[in-house]
Chain A
Amino acid sequence: MAVRSLKRNKAKNRMLLTAVILSVFLIFTVLTVGSTYMEMEKIQNIRQKGAQFDAVLVGGVTKKQLEWCRERKNITAVGLQAYSGYPEKTKKDSTLHSGLIWCDEVFWKKQMAPARDMVQGRYPQKENELMATRKSLKDCGMEHLGVGDSFEMTYTDHNGSHTKNFTISGIWDGYGDRQVFFVSKKFFEHSGYTLDQTRSGIMYLNFDEKDLRENERQEIMTRLNLGEQQYFEFSQEMSSWMEVMTGAAGLAAAICLSAYLLIYNILSLSVSANIRYYGLLETIGMTNWQIRKFLRRQMALLGAAGIAVGMSLGIVVSFRLIPFIVTALGIHQDDIHVVFHPAVFVLAVGVAAATIFMGNQNAIKTAGSVSPVDAMCYRGSSENRRRHKIRRGPVLWKMALEQIGKNKKKSAVVILSLAASLSIFLCLTTLIQSHGARTVYTNYMNEDLIVQNDTLLKEEKSDWKQIMDAKFIDSVRKLSGVERVSSLKRAEIVVPWSGEITETWLKKFYEKWQEEPFGEKERNEYKEHPERFDSFCYGISRQEFDYLKENENLKTEWKDFREGKTCLLYDGAMSLPESTFLGKTLTFWEDRQGSPEEKITIGDLVSEEYYGAGSGKGLVILISQDYMKEMAGALVFRMNISYKEPYDQETEQKVLQKIQETPGRKDFSYTSKIEDLKEARRAQGNMMGVGIGLTVIIAWIGIMNYINTVSGNISSRQSELALLEGIGMTKRQMRGMLVREGILYGLFSWLITAAAGIGITYVIYEKMNSNQIPFEIPWIWILGMAAIILMICALVPVIFYHIIDKKKSIIERIREIQ
Chain B
Amino acid sequence: MKQWMVKTRNLKKYYKQGNYIIKALDGVDFQAEDGEFVSIIGKSGSGKSTLLYMIGGLDIPTEGDVFVGGKNLAGISREKLAVFRRRNVGFIFQSYNLVPDLNVYENIILPIELDGAAVDEELVDELLDSLQLLDKKEAMPNTLSGGQQQRAAIARALAIKPLLVLADEPTGNLDTGTSHDVIGLLRTMAKRFQQTLVVITHDQDIAQMADRIVHMKDGKIVRG
A residues lining the B interface (CB < 8 Å): 382, 384-391, 395, 399, 402-403, 405-406, 720, 723-733, 809-811, 814-815, 817-818
| CB-contact partner of B110 in A384, A727, A815, A817, under 8 A | A727
When the two chains form their complex, are residues A728 and B143 in contact, meaning their CB atoms are under 8 A apart? no
When the two chains form their complex, are residues B97 and A817 in contact, meaning their CB atoms are under 8 A apart? yes
Given the known inter-chain contacts A387-B138, A390-B137, A733-B114, please indicate yes or no for A818 contacting B94, CB distance below 8 A: yes
Most chain B CB inside 10 Å of its own CB: which residue of A382, A388, A403: A388
9 CB contacts below 8 A, A to B, read: A403-B101, A725-B82, A727-B111, A729-B86, A733-B114, A814-B93, A817-B97, A818-B94, A818-B95
When the two chains form their complex, are residues B99 and A387 in contact, meaning their CB atoms are under 8 A apart? no
Quick check: is B151 within 8 A (CB to CB) of the other chain? no
When the two chains form their complex, are residues A388 and B82 in contact, meaning their CB atoms are under 8 A apart? no
Contacts of A730 in B (CB 8 A): 79, 82-83, 114
B residues lining the A interface (CB < 8 Å): 49-50, 53, 58-59, 78-79, 82-83, 85-87, 91, 93-95, 97, 99-103, 105-106, 110-111, 113-115, 137-140, 142-143, 156, 160
Give the docked Cα–Cα distance between A809 and B82 (Å). Answer: 14
When the two chains form their complex, are residues B82 and A729 in contact, meaning their CB atoms are under 8 A apart? yes
When the two chains form their complex, are residues A811 and B53 in contact, meaning their CB atoms are under 8 A apart? yes
How many whole Å from B11's CB to the nearest CB in chain A? 15
A-B contacts at CB below 8 angstroms, number: 90
Contacts of B83 in A (CB 8 A): 728, 730
Contacts of A395 in B (CB 8 A): 110, 113-114
When the two chains form their complex, are residues A382 and B101 in contact, meaning their CB atoms are under 8 A apart? yes
Contacts of B102 in A (CB 8 A): 399, 402
Which are the 5 A-B pairs with shortest beta-carbon distances?
A728-B86, A395-B113, A730-B82, A387-B138, A402-B101
Give the docked Cα–Cα distance between A384 and B143 (Å). Answer: 9
Contacts of A405 in B (CB 8 A): 101
How many whole Å from A739's CB to the nearest CB in chain B? 16
Given the known inter-chain contacts A810-B58, A817-B93, please indicate yes or no for A728 contacting B106, CB distance below 8 A: no
Contacts of A817 in B (CB 8 A): 93, 95, 97
Given contacts A388-B138, A815-B49, 19 further A-B contacts (CB under 8 A): A387-B103, A388-B103, A388-B140, A389-B138, A390-B105, A395-B110, A395-B114, A402-B102, A406-B101, A723-B93, A726-B85, A727-B111, A727-B114, A728-B160, A729-B82, A730-B82, A811-B58, A814-B93, A818-B93
When the two chains form their complex, are residues B101 and A809 in contact, meaning their CB atoms are under 8 A apart? no
How many whole Å from A716's CB to the nearest CB in chain B? 13
How many whole Å from A389's CB to the nearest CB in chain B? 6
How many whole Å from A733's CB to the nearest CB in chain B? 6
When the two chains form their complex, are residues A386 and B53 in contact, meaning their CB atoms are under 8 A apart? no
Contacts of A733 in B (CB 8 A): 114
| CB-contact partner of B82 in A384, A386, A728, under 8 A | A728
When the two chains form their complex, are residues B91 and A384 in contact, meaning their CB atoms are under 8 A apart? no
When the two chains form their complex, are residues A390 and B103 in contact, meaning their CB atoms are under 8 A apart? yes
Give the docked Cα–Cα distance between A732 and B86 (Å). Answer: 14
Give the docked Cα–Cα distance between A726 and B57 (Å). Answer: 9
When the two chains form their complex, are residues A727 and B53 in contact, meaning their CB atoms are under 8 A apart? no
When the two chains form their complex, are residues B103 and A731 in contact, meaning their CB atoms are under 8 A apart? no
When the two chains form their complex, are residues A387 and B139 in contact, meaning their CB atoms are under 8 A apart? yes
Give the docked Cα–Cα distance between A724 and B53 (Å). Answer: 15
Q: Closest B-chain residue to A720, C-beta based? A: B99
When the two chains form their complex, are residues B140 and A724 in contact, meaning their CB atoms are under 8 A apart? no
Contacts of A720 in B (CB 8 A): 99-100
Give the docked Cα–Cα distance between A313 and B100 (Å). Answer: 41
Contacts of A385 in B (CB 8 A): 140
